[in-house]
Amino acid sequence: MHRRSSQRLLNLFLAVTGGAVLWSAFPDVGWWPAAFAAVALLWWALREDHAWWNALHGLVFGLTFFLPHVRWAINATEVAPWIAMSVVEALFFALFGILWTWARRAVRAGLRGRAVARGSGAWQAAAFAVVFTAVEQWRSEVPFGGFPWGRLAWAMVDAPLGRSAWLGGTVLVTFGVCLAGLGLAAAARAVIARPRALASYGRATGVVAAAAAVVVVPVTLPLPASSDAGTVATDAGAVVHDAGSDLAQDGVLWAGAVQGNVDDPDLGVFAQRPELFGNHLEGTYELAEDFGGELDVVLWPEDSTGVDPRTSARAAAALDAAAEAVGAPILVGTQEYPSDGGRYNLSLLWQPGQGATERYAKQRPAPFGEYIPMRPLVRLLSDQVDRVTTDMLPGAEPAVMDVPARLGAAPTGGGDGTRIATIICFEVAYDEIVRDAVRRGAQVLVVPTNNAAFGWTEESTQQLAMTRMQAIATGRAAVQVSTVGVSGIVAPDGTLVTSTELFTHETLAAALPLRHTITPAVAAGYWPGWIAGIAAGLLVLAGVAVRVGTRVTGRRPARGEQDGDRPAASDHGALVS
């Protein structure tokens, strides 16, 4: 009994440590190898053959990770909503602990008595990766449309493994992180189990080599790599950021981006909307001075006008003048209040003399941030719900717009103009929205966002990592443009060409290659997630059947199957056990 209690305390310690290590893999720390160590620690923390203990350890792992990872939520709300969101997301790690307990029983039962002892650990590692990937995918879809923040894949944008998003999207990247992490666990176990045996070190070296291969092999994938990407100066001294013009298949989109900033970071954007609008107008005139008549479009962030210019003659006139001066339409962010209630988060393409010629409404408003589900119930927990006075409504149209060809310019995007993806803020975390836009012909990704409510936290850099990963998955150049930062220009292989600082006034000019090639990840669509979900479901059902069968027959599990402290007889020398 004492040994069992000590083991559970150790597992709890491993869970806490693992969650903290995983946090360090994401921006702003951004030490991506830590994700592999975190997976290894989670594996060890879930060693017991007891679903509820593993659920507890999974919950602790999730809380230790999510509480610091989304600490920016405190800036936008208060402590109670931040804790509530972290708990909800951590519950998925608890669910994983339960499902993995059952799935592992199925794997062990399937291997028992067969001459595959040396491969049993590899089967367990694959099963662990499948179940983890499936639960992460479910977390990205439910409840209320899901919350994909904190996916393992987002930490891999600078890792060789991140390039596998081109092949199988974020699902494949997360699967690879799990396999590599379990390779570390196996290597450590081989040495710890027999520290004086030379064969243990040979086995550990082999496993580490296999894990390293999972991480490194994606560098061989044929991502569109540019030799021209970088920052260059024009003859007039203006700066242009080339996002890989040598990769263009249908010409180049010349885009300006304005990060207007707010005058007082402590007040936030909502208290300074008139100044915010003015700052973005000012940035547009700065672009006009350097690039007047040479840009195809000017990109403004989410909610950058403070007022719907379609209902304000003064705002419309100001936009007309700025667009006329720069010689290009402006993509502006605003909000629309329909007569029957609610509001929409919009991107509008504003052309001088014509007004809004294109409209996109955000499809996935953020629950508890832009609308309050179950408002009467949630109000009992926190009065912060009343800060959202009008719930945001979901848009029904795809995230695409057509930018008209510039008068007198060489044809781009097929001659009639260019189709761009207009992915508003948190929507960049939802793979299906981005994929759908690309399938509908989007040749460039544009991510307007408003990060002012999150202060000096790492929320914006976490989002930029997602934008970069989506560029890899789709093979498209991308622009993230924020009210206060961080804004960035991204090449089609995810390379960050340039980025701004938080709370600075910046203007960017970029040459964005237009591409129409559909990557394998986009072509695969939902299938990688569906396959992971179906495989995980089958493993769990098989594990439940094994447990039921064990109780019916009265057979007692082997020692290693029962407490997870030691490998079962058939697991000797396995990859992980």
Instruction: Kindly report, residue by residue over 476-523, the tens digit of the pLDDT.
Output: 999 999 999 899 999 999 999 999 999 999 999 999 999 999 999 999
C-alpha gyration radius of the chain:
26
Question: If pLDDT is split at 50, 70 and 90, which confidence band does 577 have?
Answer: very low
Nearest to 428 by CA among 438, 440, 419, 417: 438
**pLDDT band per the 50, 70, 90 thresholds, residue 60:** very high
pLDDT range class, residue 570, cuts 50, 70, 90: very low
Q: What is the pLDDT of residue 287?
A: 98
pLDDT digits 0-9 by tens, 153-212:
999 999 999 999 999 999 999 999 999 999 999 998 888 878 777 777 888 899 999 999
Write out the H or E segment, with its range, that includes residue 355: strand 355-361
Contacts of range 194-197, beta carbons closer than 8 Å, 24 or more positions apart:
none
Of 115, 153, 112, 127, the C-alpha closest to 46 is 127
Q: In the chain, pLDDT over 90 holds for what percent of residues?
A: 72
Fold of the domain built from segment(s) 249-362+396-513: Nitrilase/N-carbamoyl-D-aminoacid amidohydrolase (3.60.110)
Q: Token match 């294109």: residue?
A: 358
Q: What is the 3-class SS of 468-494, one letter each residue?
A: HHHHHHHCCEEEEEECCCCCEEECCCC
Name the region of 173 (left: φ>0; alpha: ψ -120 to 50; beta: rest).
alpha
Instruction: Using alpha carbons, select from 448, 480, 477 the residue that is nearest to residue 461.
Output: 480
Answer yes or no: is pLDDT of 337 > 60.
yes
Neighbours of 456 (CB within 10 A): 13
Distances (CA, A) of 183 to 128, 177, 343: 12, 10, 49
Per-residue CA distances from 118 to 193, 194, 566 (Å): 16, 16, 16
**Domain(s) of CATH 3.60.110.10: residues in the chain:** 249-362+396-513
Q: β-strand 330-336 against 344-351: which pairing, if any?
A: antiparallel
List pLDDT tens digits, range 365-420: 988 778 777 776 666 666 666 677 788 999 999 999 999 987 544 444 445 789 99
List, for residues 137-158, the tens digit of each pLDDT value.
999 999 999 999 999 999 999 9
Q: Tell me the per-residue pLDDT of 12-24, one tens digit each, with 9 for 90 and over.
A: 999 999 999 999 9
Would you state the pLDDT for residue 479? 98
Q: Please compute, for residue 62, the number of CA atoms within 13 A of its CA located in the half-sphere on the CB side.
A: 28
* Residue (of 445, 444, 448, 421) closest to 304 by Cα position: 448
Q: First-to-last CA distance in the chain?
A: 22
| Spatial CB neighbours of 300, under 8 Å, sequence gap ≥ 6 | 258, 260, 280, 284, 330, 331, 332, 333, 448, 481
DSSP 261: -
Q: What is the separation of C-alpha 532 from the centre of its chain, rounded to a whole number of angstroms?
A: 18
Q: Which residue has the tokens 């997301």?
A: 89
| pLDDT confidence band for 75 (50 / 70 / 90) | confident
Give the least confident one: 12-16, 37-41, 77-81, 274-278: 77-81
Note the pLDDT of residue 395.
96
